[in-house]
Structure 1
């Protein structure tokens, strides 16, 4: 027979049903209950004693505030529970924490806390802020198989032992900024959707793993310190939400693992992000230049050569990147090189022929007289196109046609562009030996 659910409507009823004073420890133990009021554990009530909290199959409709303890908690164990409002337990010192098979409708806050023994958080659904920022974990941390539907904050934390974040789904990403992993970090089968997984300024002291994961919201390893190896096999990163340094770090990590194919993929992503960065920098620099020239700011210093040189540098780098992308897709596609060469040669040859026609030097007029004339004009044009396609052709390669200085100029420019296309095509065939 199923046990009847206890209905608790006040703080007094909660303490009467759950509180047990064992001498050194105040134990709050409750099972199969529904709490319909705010619960607040007060420091005056518990004095200098330690606290234990054991909830099993408890549904809490209101806020639970563990914030005022400021002393040690022996153990917190929450299993098969449901919390509709905030669960606040920040600024606490906890020996061990276990949260299993539970649902949190709003925030779970253990920020600025100390965990001296193992922490295990598994098979839960979190719909509000999950906040463990500024906390210290002295023993192993196990947080696998959870669904995080809101922001997750592990910023400025110290992890003294192994940390396992396997098989988690982060709808809005997670932040680990400035945290230190003194032992191994396991980040396998992680899925991040809307926002990025942020490991900016994080220190990985030992071999760590970020494998078989999908970062649709992006990934940041900006200024991270990797003292040994960060294994990153089989990951997908949406580059639009990732910074260039992160993509460069991942590329170099794949190279250390002798995975040139994946390194090339992230080289491509890095170049795309760099191109966007240059566009943004150029736009910002132009706005700043215009603002300075119009004298909007007070106490404007004379415009330095360094600022102008930076603007010119952005333009030069952007031109190089555009040329590389169009000609062989950053050195990765020989077919792009072939298309670029054929297209540029066709454009150059069309302008070259048009110039001759306008000068009255071309032996054929384009149009339909009869099939024989049309066929001859097409054969003549195609015959010399293939000669034009070869960058070392003679200047006067078309029989019976007198070239003007303008024709020579068009020919020279076309040779340069077509020769560049041929070179880029050859370079793309060497892509696996480039990085």
Structure 2
């Protein structure tokens, strides 16, 4: 059963007991185990010893503790260590500088976590910790290594103007909602392995500068373009490390996000938008969105953005069959009918196979075909269009087969 601490005096007594009896630590190194803290505390703490001298306690190790009120972390020159702790209220560490190591190992953050404008000059470790509310690391400076291995974020986490000066580690990290790395400042390295990040909801509405800053700083919502950029960063990270297999899901997610972005762009009719951009820019954006959507939809249908080779092969056969049918309908040999004749299908298998070769001749149905049957101009139009479509399908199939290059 955990000890309940209702006042700062009780906390002080427990720290001293642990120090003197259980651990034999130095006077500036305090330990608190298996306690329930029911009042707000500020670290570092100012304690008095038996001689009534006041001591600034920089280093405190909390293990198996529950915090039911707010914790405030101020400037600290030594280490802060929480292990197997639960925080039911907010942790406030804004505008603070930590010159020692800060560790939260296997902890649960059920309240708000505020590290805005904080600076970590040494290791910041959040190993196997759980964050239940949105977290915005706004202008947080990680000057050394920061670890989120096996951490779980149940809501959005944003690294808005966050400095990664040395190394940030995501190993086995689970992002149940969204992740925003688009505004992080990477002067150091990113290390990612075996993370869980799927498609997530974003804000696709038109945003002016103040609205955008409110999202990425205050509300913790992620704009759709930030989502796309985050997937691009992760894709590029794996590609740069020659890990093409791991890059593929992020490549697909990036393109799917761009597809959604173009849909929103096409159907967005906001008076504020064309007041700011002008009518010409507004119309240009709509035309551009139409062409971008055409290309993206064609890519998702043909080979699912370069990863589905069976889909691309079936696509090639299907578009080839469609244009083959339209082409032969424009000859005197065949006319359109609602009933299906399997004999005609069987008789034209060889012609269809020839048609699937983009460099085929116009007499793909036989040597005497051009002499025997009159052809309309549409015959040549659909034949040329079919060559282009089949050539595109073959290229997409090759691309999909090379996805592990």
> TM-score when scaled to structure 2?
0.76
Secondary structure, counterpart of 2:105 in structure 1 = coil
- Aligned equivalent of 1:245, options 229, 241, 250: 229
Secondary structure, counterpart of 2:58 in structure 1 = strand
Distance 2:335 2:250 in 1: 52
Distance 1:322 1:118 in 2: 53
Distance 1:54 1:100 in 2: 15
Is 1:95 aligned to 2:58, yes or no? yes
Structure-2 residue corresponding to 1:403: 375
Structure-2 residue corresponding to 1:135: 96
Structure-1 residue corresponding to 2:127: 166
Decide whether aligned partners of structure 1 residues 55 and 313 sit closer, same or farther in structure 2, where only a CA change above 3 A counts.
Answer: farther
Is 1:339 aligned to 2:314, yes or no? yes
Q: Is the 1:92–1:110 Cα contact (8 Å) retained in structure 2? A: no
Distance 1:91 1:311 in 2: 57
Give a deviation string over 1:163-214, Cα, whole Å, max 9, x none.
111111223353222110111112211122x312222211111133221222
Give a deviation string over 1:302-350, Cα, whole Å, max 9, x none.
9353443333223222222222222222222322210211121222233
Decide whether aligned partners of structure 1 residues 414 and 198 sit closer, same or farther in structure 2, where only a CA change above 3 A counts.
Answer: same
Is 1:318 aligned to 2:293, yes or no? yes
Structure-2 residue corresponding to 1:329: 304
Question: Which is further off, 300-309 or 414-423?
Answer: 300-309
Q: Within 5 A, what are the aligned runs for 1:125-204? A: 125-192=86-153, 194-204=154-164
Decide whether aligned partners of structure 1 residues 135 and 381 sit closer, same or farther in structure 2, where only a CA change above 3 A counts.
Answer: same
Q: CA deviation at 1:101?
A: 1.1
Distance 1:417 1:378 in 2: 21
Q: Is the 2:127–2:150 Cα contact (8 Å) retained in structure 1? A: yes
Is 1:82 aligned to 2:36, yes or no? yes
Secondary structure, counterpart of 2:375 in structure 1 = coil
Q: Is the 1:80–1:101 Cα contact (8 Å) retained in structure 2? A: yes
Give a deviation string over 1:241-295, Cα, whole Å, max 9, x none.
57122222222222333322222332222112222222222322x4449x85xxx
Aligned pair count? Answer: 357
Distance 1:75 1:389 in 2: 78
Question: Which is further off, 89-98 or 422-431?
Answer: 89-98
Is 1:108 aligned to 2:70, yes or no? yes
Distance 1:6 1:232 in 2: 40
Q: Within 5 A, what are the aligned runs for 1:160-309? A: 160-192=121-153, 194-241=154-201, 243-284=227-268, 286-288=269-271, 303-309=278-284
Give structure 1 regions of 4+ aligned residues with deviation exceeding 4 angstroms. 5-8, 53-56, 74-78, 90-94, 353-356, 363-368
Secondary structure, counterpart of 1:200 in structure 2 = coil
Structure-2 residue corresponding to 1:29: 12
Q: Is the 2:110–2:131 Cα contact (8 Å) retained in structure 1? A: yes
Q: CA deviation at 1:231?
A: 1.3
Give a deviation string over 1:17-63, Cα, whole Å, max 9, x none.
x37xxxxxxxx5345xxxxxxxxxxxxxxxxxxxxx7798xxxxxxx
> TM-score when scaled to structure 1?
0.71
Q: CA deviation at 1:416?
A: 1.6
- Aligned equivalent of 1:424, options 384, 396, 399: 396
Structure number, greater radius of gyration: 1
Superposition CA RMSD, Å = 3.5
Distance 1:382 1:186 in 2: 61
Secondary structure, counterpart of 1:350 in structure 2 = helix
Asked which structure has the greater RCO (Cα within 8 Å, sep 6+), the reply is 2
Decide whether aligned partners of structure 1 residues 327 and 6 sit closer, same or farther in structure 2, where only a CA change above 3 A counts.
Answer: closer
Q: Is the 1:396–1:402 Cα contact (8 Å) retained in structure 2? A: no
